[in-house]
Amino acid sequence: MADIDLPHLCRLAQLALDGAEADAARADLERIIDMVDRMQAFDTDGVEPLAHPLGTAARLRPDEVTEQVDRDRFQALAPAVQDGMYLVPRVVE
């Protein structure tokens, strides 16, 4: 089994795990590593990589303009506008 440095992983992920959570996380990671090890044992020689399991392309709608942006109408609804710009409250002092 792989040596899992759980405290180091928790620091990297900025996680604070208590004893039971750490035990559960370690068990989950061990199962994931075991699954990856089993997957790496498969013979994939001669198998072409796939981007998608089905040989079909995505059917997308045509890229057509359906709405127009009416800037004047939107700015008329805004609480504060100056020189064509929306005025918003200051966030950073």
- pLDDT of the chain, 93 residues: tens digit per residue: 568 899 999 999 999 999 899 999 999 999 999 999 999 999 999 998 888 777 777 788 888 988 888 999 999 999 999 999 999 998 987
Tokens 């100056």 appear where? 82
pLDDT confidence of residue 57: 76
The SS3 call for residue 77 is helix
Q: Is 6 within 8 Å of 22 (Cβ atoms)?
A: yes
pLDDT confidence of residue 52: 78
From CA 56, how far away is CA 91, in angstroms rounded? 48
Q: Is 30 within 8 Å of 3 (Cβ atoms)?
A: no
pLDDT confidence of residue 27: 93
| Predicted TM-score of the model (pTM) | 0.49
Total residues belonging to the chain = 93
